[in-house]
Structure formats: structure tokens, C-alpha cells
Amino acid sequence: MADMVQFAKMNGLGNEILVVDMRGRPDSVAPQAAIALAQDDKTAFDQIMAIHDSRLHGTDAYIQILNSDGSMAQACGNGTRCVVQALSADTGMQAFTFQTVAGIVNARELEDGLIAVDMGAPEFRWDRIPLAEEFHDTRMIELQIGPIEAPVLHSPSVASMGNPHAIFWVKDDVWSYDLEKFGPLLENHPIFPERANISIARVRSQSELDLRTWERGAGLTRACGTAACAAAVSAARTERTGRQVTVNLPGGPLQIDWQESNNHVMMTGPAEWEFSGSLDPQTGVWKADPLAQRESHS
């Protein structure tokens, strides 16, 4: 068995996160370890956020992100907030710069305990989302579920927030749709060569959205930060809302601000610590730390 590493089970609005400390090690969390941890009721997660030593000058850490099926993810906003809270408690720092596959991410813990993450600029070009075929206008693409004459869902907005998203706009309750049924079909639709996160969104006002998401590689989730950002920018882009919105997720609200000054999307919300322990990053064998007592922030 490989040397054990420390982990914290956390959540961001119910989006279950494992923050794994891989600093000082040359290896990574293995896909088979991720799958084993995901299948354990105690450690079941939506994403693993593995903290590695910095690989780029000017950054505090390299973050590797894994889904519960063992696949790699490019970005995870809720997971980033959990990493910030964990590192803030460990180092006393409030502001961090991370390197991810999707690029550089800046984040900071605010005085009220909430965490603000600069999610970067959204991408709307069809080949950068990416889509399998060209669409000049990604505010609405040709895609539907259900009969041609009466589709259940149709004409989503698509965007990338470091990972691909499709947002289907509905006028009734987002809970009235069987996302558990439609999500896997749409996630794996041929139009999405790298699969996609699938969301159902309802506009409540110029400054408020309701959102449910089927997360690529993870399934139904109580919160997806990048989906909240993608829905918010798509709502503003289609003139459904303004650029500052509250996005209501099953786990709670996130504040999203699509800044005009630099085109970046700021996401603000909470993170919560549940328990900590140690694990084998190659097998997923783990044990809880009964002595770990840390104040959690909600």
C-alpha cells in the first residue's frame, strides 16, 4: 500500500467534494481509487480536488480534478471554494492563485466566510466549447429531447466555463423534468465530443434563476458552480436577465457577476467541512481521523 495522504470531505452547497493533499508527492490520485471512493457511502463525492505542488511560477498550487467515474474534469467552482477554505485553515492565507487544466483560477475567502472565485471568461465559440459541428450562434442550437412535433426540451444555449455546458430554458418548475432520464442521453449526445454538463433553467426575474444540473461524469448534483456561471452568462447573453444574478441550486444560492470590465465571471458562495482522514491515492482505501475537529463554515 502506498503512503497515505490527508483528505477532507467537504461540500459546496451540497456538491460533495473530496479535497486530497498530494503536495510533496510525484504521483496522482488514480482513477480506480476515485471510483472506489465514490462507491463508498461515507466518501461518495461529485469531484475530487487533488492539491499538488505548484508547477507554474506565481501560483500557489496545481489542482487536478477527477469526477466520480474516474475521468478528468477541467473545472469545478464549488470544489475550488472547498480548496480555498481548506488551504486557508491550513496556511492562514485568504487569497490564492491556482493552476488547473482549464487555466489560472484566482480565489479568496471573504470576511463573512463566503468564498469568491474568479471563474475566468466564458467561451461561446462552437469549436472552443466544443461542439462537433459549426453553429454561428450558440445562444440557441438545434438539439431536442422528445417528439419532433412536441419536444420535452429543446434549443439550449451552450457555453464553456472551462468545461462544456448546455442550458435548456423552461417556463415551469425545473423539478418537473426527469433530468435523471434525459441527462445521460444529452451528456453523451454526438454534438458534444467531450460530453457536456446538462442544465434545466428557469428565469424568475431579471436577477434570479432556478437551476438543476446533470453533471458530466458525476450525474445529478445538488450544486454545480460552472453550470451556475454558464447559465448566468447565457441568461444575460439572451437578454433574459442582467449580468448580476442569484442562481438558486438544489443545495442553495450562488451569486454570479459577469463583469463588464474584464469579461470574467465571479462566483461567490459557501463551503462546508464534514470530516477528515487519510487515504491511499492508488487504491482508495481510507480511514477517518477521529481527532480532527475543525470549525465548519456554512
Give dist(CA 145, CA 161) in Å, integer. 24
Closest CA to 80 of 46, 30, 35, 116: 116
Cell of 115: 468564498
Let me know if 224 is a catalytic residue.
Answer: yes
Rounded CA separation 182/273 (Å): 32
Number of residues that this document lists for the chain: 298
- Burial (CB < 10 A; 0-12, 13-18, 19+), residue 205, is exposed
Task: Point out the catalytic residue in the list 22, 75, 76, 223.
Answer: 76
Q: Among 116, 224, 245, 271, which one carries the catalytic annotation? A: 224
**Residue 58, number of CB atoms within 10 A of its CB:** 8
82 tagged catalytic? no
70: left (phi over 0), alpha (psi -120 to 50) or beta: left
Active site residues per annotation: 76, 224
